[in-house]
Each structure stands twice: as C-alpha cells, then as structure tokens.
Amino acid sequence: MPITRILKQYFGYEEFREGQAEIIAALTSGRDALGVMPTGAGKSLCYQAPAMFLPGVTLVVSPLISLMRDQVQALSANGVPAAFINSSLDGGQYARVMAEARSGARKIIYVAPERLMSPSMLDLARTLPVSLVAVDEAHCISQWGQDFRPSYLDIPRFVDELPKRPVVAAFTATATPRVREDILLTLGLNAPLVVTTGFDRPNLRFEVRRPKDKYAALTEFLRSHEGSGIVYCSTRKEAEAVAGKLAADGCSAARYHAGLSGEERGRSQDDFLFDRARVIVATNAFGMGIDKSDVRFVVHYNMPQNVESYYQEAGRAGRDGLPADCVLFYARRDVNTALFLINQSGNEDEKARNRRLLGQMEGYCETDGCLRRFVLEYFGERVEGDCGNCGNCDGGFAVTDATVDAQKILSCVGRMNKQNRAFGFAVIRKTLQGKRDEGIACRKLDELPTFGAMKDASASYIRRLFDKLAAQGYIALSDDSYRTASLTARARDVLLGGTSVTLRDDGPEPTKPPRPRQTAPGSSKGAEGAVSEGLLARLKALRTDIARKDGVPAFVVFSDAALVDMCRKRPRTEEDFLNVSGVGQVKLKRYGRQFLGLLNGVGASSEPQTDRQ
Ligand code: ADP
Ligand code: ZN
C-alpha cells in the first residue's frame, strides 16, 4: 500500500506535517534517520507509518511505560496491531505478546530499553524479521542531556545482535548540538538523514502575567478557559497547597510530585488522562511520559529555572495542534526560590551555569518583546519579526491602529509583485519614503503610485510595521539571503477586508484589550468554517461516553482536532466522514455510525450559533 494511503487509512490524515515526509521516505527506502522535532510535531507517525509499509516488525524503544500503554491503545484504535513489552506485564501476558509477535500478528512492538539485552528478548528478536528499530526520546542516550539513561547504551549492542541489521531511526525534541552529535555517534546511525524542523509551536499562545494574588489569578484563569491542563509549581509544598485549595473550591484537581508513592502518582496521572481530574497540579517530576494530546493549557504557578525546561513543560500543551495557552505567573520572589534550589545542588561550575540560565529565564519574564521570538532565538533560531500571538504582542499594552500605514506597505509590495518583481525591505522603505536614489530611479520605482506614500514616516516605524506584517503572514519573505517580499493571499484581509493592524505603543500604561482567539495554523484549512460550540460540546459528550465504555482516554477515540474538524465539515455520509482529519478506516467502522447519527440529527438550521472562529 502506498504510504499516502497508509496515512489516510490508518491515521486518518490527508497530508504530512513538516519533516514527516522526508523521514518516512528515508526509512522506507532503507536509510537511517534522526528527527529533531519539537513536542507535538508528530514524531510518532514518522516510524508508525513506515512500520505499516515495511515487511516484518518495527521495534520501538521508549523510556516510559505509561507512554507505551497510551501509544499502543491509540494505535489499536486506528487498527494498527501493536503491543508492548515491559516490566508491567505478568508472565502470562508476556508469553502471549511473545507468541503474537512470533506469529506476525503485531506490526509494532514497544520495548523498554532495560529489556533489550534480556535473553528472552534477544531470542525473540533473533527469530523475528525486524525491519526497523525506532528510538524514541533518543536524547536519553546522551550523558550531556538531563535525561540520561544508561540502558539506552544497550540499543546499539542490541542492534548488533540481530541477524540482519534493521533500519534505525532516532527521535528527540532536544535541540542542543552536543546531544544531537551524541545520538548520531553513540547510536551508530549509518549515513542517516538528519531532519531538524523549526521549534516554533504556532498553536501555543505564550503569556507572562504578574498577578498580585496568584491563586485568585489561577481560579480566574480556570473560570475563563476550557478544557484540562497542567499547573506547574516549583516545590512539592506549593503543589500540595495549590491542589488542596483547588479541591476545596470544587475544582477536580489531581496532584503529582516526587514525594508521593508510585501508586499515588499513577492514580493522579490516570485521573488526568481519563479526564476525571480537569487539572493536575505538579512539580517538574511530572514529565516526559505525558502523552495526552488535548492538554489545553499549561500554567506555571512559579517561574522555572531555565528556558529549556520552561519550553519543554509548556510544550505539553496543544499536541493536537489546536490552540492552547501557556501562561507563566511571575513574581520576583520566584527568582529567590529558584536561586535557593540551584544553590542546593551540583558543583560550583554547575551552579554558575544554572544561575546564568536562570538569568535568561528572568529575561523571558521581564521582556516587553515578543515571547515566542525570545524563546526561538534562545534556541538559536532566526526569527523574522514578532509573532502577533503572545501576551506581549497582543495584549497588556496600549496599541495604536496602524491599518492605513499597513495598507500602504502592502499595496506598495503588491504593485511591485504585479510587475513580477520583488524587493527586500530597504528598497521598499525607500520607495515608500519617496527617496529617489539611483537604485530606485533605474528600477523606475519612482513611477509607482505608492512612491512617497509614507514620506513622513521614520525608517524604524516602517521597519516595525513591515516586520509585523511579515510575522502575521500578510507578507512572505523569500528564504534566500535577499529576503524579498511578496504578498500572501491573506494580505487581502487588510487591503480590502477590514482586518486592522495595530502596533504596540512603547508607553508604560497597561491596558487589557480583549484578545482575539487565534486559529492554529496547523489545525487544517484555517478559519474557513465557524465552529458551533454547542455541537462541539455534544460531540465531546459522545466521545466521553464511548471512551468510558471502552475504558480508554477520550483522545484515543478522537482528538479535539478531529472533533473540531467534524464541526467544520459537518459530514453527512460515511464518505464525508472519512474526509475528517483523524478518521481512518477503523475509526470510521468503529465510531462512524454514532457520530454521523449525532451530526445528522443536528440539522444545520436551528443550531444556536455561539461561534468562535
Ligand atoms: P511528538 O511525538 O512529536 O510529540 P506526536 O507524535 O504525539 O508528537 O503527535 C502529536 C499529534 O499530532 C498527535 O495527536 C498526532 O496524531 C498528530 N499528527 C501527527 N501527524 C499528523 C499529520 N500528518 N496530520 C495531522 N495530525 C498529525
Ligand atoms: Zn509574540
């Protein structure tokens, strides 16, 4: 079956996300690969789709037992025969999985790294046709990373034990070059294709608040936001206190920190996963294993110790690609707590390093600039302009309407494009300012109607506005070194459609304009269809029913993204239903009738339209 068929049939998706197609092409043609992609980018699909394409079995090495269980559940719900082997299985279960693997009844088997070199696993692997070994959280092999696991060093030894060398694929969200290098070397990848995607998560909205009363701010946040989420605290004591208060105030809150027994932690995690608890209040002990794709917010009740941890923790929101909020409650005294914690452990070098990292974290909390830009530049990415979708870009500050000037810039670029020409910022600015130098004259740009349209504007003002238009996707810049500008289709919204463009004043007085809800760029086909909240709520209720009956987390039935797509597309027939993102053959068969019943019962006419875009 061609890989695009596999994508639709088993996973229900129409197209690949950034990086996926290249990695999958490499793996299916027998080449090793390393994928460095942020959380939520879709790394799992990069080995799950090839597993269905390649003959034989794919072994997935994954560090967390809870993660395996979720992944296997989600795969089974898609009709992909998968299983896991780890210490949670009893003897009988273990024997059954082994037998199924031998008989070819399983295409994907998750294995804990500690198991790999055990005699029974080696026996099994030697008799199985293993086509692909995929290493999840591959940074665990590096001693430079924070999550080093000695058992990961068994992976290359295990691969060497196999009669025929399989293709090896490694995946991580860790960006540092040193760790990446370590993965390539230690894992022994063979002329691998290395794919690094950008670290931006466009569907996440970042914000820093400085509430006087953090608890009041938290309850207000929970009142005004939907869905479930994580509240991170920096100490166990604070996590206990916040969870206790929330519970007393009638909010279903679970707690999670290293001071609880394994059993308690497991229970908390399950309560959160199965939506029995809306909120989990946790320390950073609640980490890597969280595979819940519909986390709608991550609130940091305290400032974390460095930007990398912050981005990793906040990044657990919105893995399904739908809008999600990452809010940090900042208070100066968090800095003192962090310093205290830092000074408690490690040698002097480490302490000095951690204090430096803390300084950058403070920088994030204190900046007036775009938060997304701050983070991406921290990770060494080049960022063009502000994001327009973070707390600093779109709220909390006085703004000036700059729509007319924006229209002037766009129309200038548009006229250049109409003549099949595109220029970089400097030429555009000079044209707008009416500066007739040699370059302008020989290109006849002084004959454009927009020549001199912004005669009185300063260069820096035009720059800010231009950057903003680029950041907001009204202008596209070429990716060569000239960075020439062309209008995007969206520019019409500003030129004709009444969409306004604002710039933040640099003045100090904060105001709070209501913020527009942004549709995630990743959530397919943008804002074309309005989503009825009423219908969405009913679809969610149906999903909850089914999930309870089947004993699986709700997002295993359908992701939020799939339900939103149902609202947009309003499928009537089974064929329509297959067009919904996230609906493959098995989900059509399993749930199609119930969801279509609900959707068809809802007539398009009388639906109350409390729409969001
Ligand atoms: P990662 O492991 O990189 O953190 P996941 O593999 O968990 O990310 O994927 C995140 C979410 O994105 C999942 O809900 C997954 O089903 C979804 N997803 C993956 N690939 C695609 C795609 N091509 N189109 C739409 N959704 C996708
Ligand atoms: Zn921003």
Quick one: 3-196 is in which CATH superfamily? P-loop containing nucleotide triphosphate hydrolases (3.40.50.300)
pLDDT tier at 28 (50, 70, 90 boundaries)? very high
Nearest CA to ligand 1 atom 27: 42
- What distance in Å separates the CA atoms of residue 64 and residue 266, rounded to the nearest whole number? 12
Euclidean distance between the first and the last CA atom of the chain, given in angstroms as a whole number: 37
The Å distance, Cα 497 to ligand 2 centre, comes to 23
Strand partners, 134: 60, 169
What percent of the chain shows pLDDT beyond 70?
91
The CA distance from 502 to 149, in Å, is 49
Residue 610 has pLDDT above 70, yes or no: no
Ligand 1 atom index nearest CA of 16: 23
Q: Give 22's Cβ-side CA count (13 Å radius).
A: 13
Residue 314 is predicted with a pLDDT of 94
Residue 436 has a CB neighbour count (10 Å cut-off) of: 14
CA–CA dist 124, 136 (Å, integer): 21
User: Distance from the CA of 468 to the center of ligand 2, in angstroms?
Assistant: 10
In the chain, domain spans: 3-196, 204-397, 400-505, 533-600
Backbone angles phi, psi at 347, to 5 degrees: -85, 180
What is the pLDDT, as a whole number, of residue 235?
93
Give 332 or 97, the one with higher predicted confidence.
97
pLDDT confidence of residue 356: 78
Atom of ligand 1 minimally distant from the CA of 293: 14
Are the C-beta atoms of residues 395 and 516 closer than 8 Å to each other? no
pLDDT in tens, 263-311: 999 899 889 988 899 999 999 888 766 678 889 999 999 999 988 889 9
Question: 400-505 domain in CATH 1.10.10.10?
Answer: yes
pTM over 0.75: no
Helix (H) or strand (E) holding 314, with range, is: helix 307-314
Lowest mean pLDDT among 22-26, 110-114, 144-148, 274-278: 144-148
- SS3 string of 51-100? HHHCCCEEEEECCCHHHHHHHHHHHHHCCCCEEEECCCCCHHHHHHHHHH
- Which tens digit of pLDDT belongs to each residue from 175-192? 677 888 889 999 999 999
CATH class as words, domain 533-600: mainly alpha
| CA–centroid distance, residue 58 to ligand 2 (Å) | 41
Q: Could you tell me whether strands 531-532 and 611-612 are parallel, antiparallel, or unpaired per DSSP bridges? A: antiparallel
For a pocket test of ligand 1, which of 10, 139, 319, 563 has the largest count of ligand atoms closer than 8 A to its C-beta? 319
- Nearest residue by C-alpha to atom 23 in ligand 1: 16
pLDDT the model gives residue 168: 97
Give residue 613's pLDDT: 36
Q: What is the distance between the alpha carbons of residues 604 and 534, in angstroms, rounded to a whole number?
A: 12
Residue 89 phi/psi, 5-degree rounding, is -80, 140
Q: Which of 220-224, 363-367, 432-436, 587-591 has the lowest mean pLDDT?
A: 363-367
Of residues 385, 398, 405, the one with CA closest to residue 461: 405
pLDDT at 146: 64
For the CA of 522, the closest atom of ligand 1 is 25
pLDDT digits (tens, 9 = 90+) for 52-84: 999 999 999 998 776 788 889 889 999 999 999
User: Are 3-196 and 204-397 in the same CATH fold?
Assistant: yes
Res. 605: pLDDT tops 60: no
Across all residues in the chain, what is the average pLDDT?
87
- Atom of ligand 1 at shortest range from CA of 37: 3
H/E element, 465: helix 459-471
Q: Enumerate residues lining ligand 1, CB below 6 A.
A: 13, 16-17, 20, 37, 39-45, 293, 319-321, 559, 581
Mutate which of 4, 24, 45 for ligand 1? The one with the most ligand atoms within 8 Å of its CB, which is 45
- Strands 204-209 and 82-85, by their bridges, are unpaired
Mutate to test the pocket of ligand 1, among 8, 11, 18, 565 (most ligand atoms within 8 A of CB): 11
Question: For residue 386, which ligand has an atom nearest its CA?
Answer: 2
CATH top-level class of 204-397: alpha beta
